[in-house]
Amino acid sequence: MSNSMKNIFKSPNRRNLLKMSGAAVLTTPFVSRAWAATTEINMLAWYGHGEPDIVAEFEAANNVKFVSKYYAGGDNMMALIAQSPPGTYDIILSDGEFVQQLNAAGYVEEMNAADYPFDDMLHEDFTKFPGHWSEGKLYSMMVRGGHLGVSYNKNAISAEEAQSYSCFWKPEIKGKLGHFDWHLPNLGMISLYNGNGSSLWNLDDAEWAAVQENTLSLRPQVGGYFDYGGTFNGLKNGEMLAMCGIGDWITGVLEKDGAPVGSVIPKEGGIQWTESYSIGKGTDKADIVKKFIQYMLSPVGQVKSAQMLAYPGFCITKAGRAALIEADPAEAKRSHQMDGMANEPISLINDGRIHYRDIPKQQSLEDWNDFWSEYKNA
């Protein structure tokens, strides 16, 4: 050891300490990563869409880097966009029903339908998905979806009981029913429970009153209202034995982790969440964004979406599904994405048991949200 180094260790005065720590900082991976002149794409999305398991391949092949801003809800997303200068976000991933809001407020660019595989969709509805088109023009491209229904702990609720939302009222789970803290899917489920079927979002005054009444009757069962993190913890730790307002996108992850939970579509019907990509208004990278969206709709991208680490979604193209069955038959089986399986998503839609999540028609979002606050305080 040289003399000067020995000195550093002998008398740790300030200057030497700074020298040492400076050296330590420089060896961290942060600085040693080569920053080539890559294009940066700013993405606004739910957590997970900008992570390596989804974007790394595309980044490497196209010399781009995704810079992601994650939100925790469509309202978060809208607030962010509203306050950011146009062109801040190049690509926006949003829930299907928020696309209407995005468009109404002028935050997205028009897209060219010919660029996307509309001829390969697994279901006809996906080709003209509500809210994604306006006056014949395409503004948002559907990428994946998932189903919401009864999510339950298999040790507390049997598979037969789970076939109906009525299991939420089961006395044995009093105080152990959780709600995902968002009015839309929860009230939608109660609406389905009331038998409103496909007009679940289109409630007249009497039907809306009935939904409110039944919801309030559920209050004694409720153990809490949770966001993403709280929901996971509640179900995993067994604090909550059933959850209203979620589906496989949460229980799928927990199942893979070994928890005794699952989600099914009950006989009253389930709700579909859909995620779609839009091109941010004012972006100067529309071409590469378009290329990425096409990539996510290609078989490779669809498989990635189905295997997404953050939360799974199902493939929406035929080629995508075929690729998934070949690449990851276990996951395809788990998520019922094989023709002929019970609970296969497309056949569920065809049977009319799935209803796309939408915003209420005859009440305002405010009305539903106000009631949700009342419900919490009840």
Partner 1 sequence: MFNKKFLKIDIYAMTWRSPIIVWQLLFFVGPVIFMIAMSFFLVKNYRMTEAFEFVNWSKMFSKNYFWDSYLYTVTIASISTVFAMTIAFPASFTLAFKTSEKLRRWAIFLLIIPFFTSYLVRTFSWFVILSENGVINALLGYIGFGPYVMLNTNFGTLVGYMTLTLPLVVILQTITMANIDRTLVEAAKNLGCKPFATIWRVIIPLSKTGLIVAAIFCFILSFGDFVAPFYLGGSQEPTLPILILDTTKSGQQWPRAAVVAIVMMITLFAVAFTGIALAYRKKAKK
Partner 2 sequence: MNSNRILKIALTAYLGSIFLFVFAPIVFSVLFSFNSQRFPTIPLGSFSIEWYVKIFNDPDIWKAALNSLIVSSSTAVIATVLGFCTAYSDFRYNFRFKGPYIALILLPPTIPLIIMALAMLAWLSKLGMSGQLWSVVIAHSVLTAPFAMAIIRLRLNQMDPDLESASWNLGGSEWATMRYVIIPFCKPAIISGLFLAAAVSFDEFAVSWFVSGLNKTLPVIILEIVQGNIDPQVNAIGTFVFLTSMTLIILAQIFFVHRQIKSTNS
Nearer to partner 2, 171 or 229 (CB): 229
Say whether residue 196 binds partner 1 (CB under 8 A).
Answer: no
Q: How far apart are CA 56 and CA 197, in angstroms?
A: 41
Distance in Å, CB of 251 to partner 2, minimum: 12
> DSSP for 35-89?
---PEEEEEEEETTTTSHHHHHHHHHHHTEEEEEEEESSHHHHHHHHHHSPTTS-
Residue 46 token pair: 């739910």
CB 204 within 8 A of CB 250: no
Q: How far apart are CA 148 and CA 247, in angstroms?
A: 4
Distance of CA 310 to the CA centre of its chain: 9
Distance in Å, CB of 248 to partner 2, minimum: 17
Residues in 87-126 at the binding interface with partner 2, rule: CB under 8 A: 88
- Residue of 281, 227, 275, 274 lying closest to 82 (CA atoms): 281
Contacts for 357 with CB less than 8 Å, ≥ 6 apart: 95, 96, 97, 148, 184, 185, 188, 271, 272, 273, 274
Say whether residue 79 binds partner 2 (CB under 8 A).
Answer: yes
Distance in Å, CB of 30 to partner 2, minimum: 3
Here's the x/- map for partner 1, 74-113, by CB under 8 A: it reads as -xx-xx--x------------------x--xx--------
Cβ neighbours, 10 Å, residue 149: 29
Nearer to partner 2, 8 or 210 (CB): 8
Residues counted in the chain: 378
**Among the candidate windows 30-38, 47-55, 133-141, 369-377, which touches partner 1 by CB under 8 A?**
369-377
Residues in 199-238 at the binding interface with partner 1, rule: CB under 8 A: 222-227, 229-230, 233, 237-238
What DSSP element (H or E) covers 223? strand 222-226
Distance in Å, CB of 230 to partner 2, minimum: 9
| Size, binding site for partner 1 by CB under 8 A | 36
Distance in Å, CB of 232 to partner 2, minimum: 5
Say whether residue 310 binds partner 2 (CB under 8 A).
Answer: yes
**Among the candidate windows 44-52, 121-129, 180-188, 349-357, which touches partner 2 by CB under 8 A?**
44-52
The residue within the footprint of partner 2, chosen from 7, 47, 197, 351 (CB under 8 A), is 47
Position of tokens 């781009």?
64
Say whether residue 359 binds partner 2 (CB under 8 A).
Answer: no
Alpha helix (H) residue ranges in the chain: 3-10, 14-26, 29-32, 52-62, 74-83, 96-104, 183-193, 205-217, 228-237, 248-256, 286-297, 299-306, 318-327, 329-334, 345-350, 365-377
Sheet with 222-226: strands ordered across: 222-226, 177-180, 242-244, 150-153, 261-264
**Among the candidate windows 36-44, 73-81, 87-95, 325-333, which touches partner 1 by CB under 8 A?**
73-81
The SS3 of residue 199 is helix
Read off the amino acid at residue 357. Answer: R
The residue within the footprint of partner 2, chosen from 198, 233, 362, 364 (CB under 8 A), is 233
The residue within the footprint of partner 2, chosen from 30, 119, 136, 172 (CB under 8 A), is 30
Distance in Å, CB of 72 to partner 2, minimum: 4
Distance in Å, CB of 344 to partner 2, minimum: 28
Nearer to partner 1, 66 or 71 (CB): 71
Q: How far apart are CA 54 and CA 218, in angstroms?
A: 39
Here's the x/- map for partner 2, 247-286, by CB under 8 A: it reads as -------x--x-x---------------------------
Q: How far apart are CA 319 and CA 228, in angstroms?
A: 31
Q: Which residues of this chain interact with partner 1, rule CB under 8 A?
A: 73, 75-76, 78-79, 82, 101, 104-105, 175, 178, 181-183, 222-227, 229-230, 233, 237-239, 364-366, 369-370, 372-374, 376-377
Q: Which residues of this chain interact with partner 2, rule CB under 8 A?
A: 14, 17, 28-30, 33, 42, 46-48, 67, 69-70, 72, 79-80, 83-85, 88, 227-229, 232-233, 236-237, 254, 257, 259, 309-310
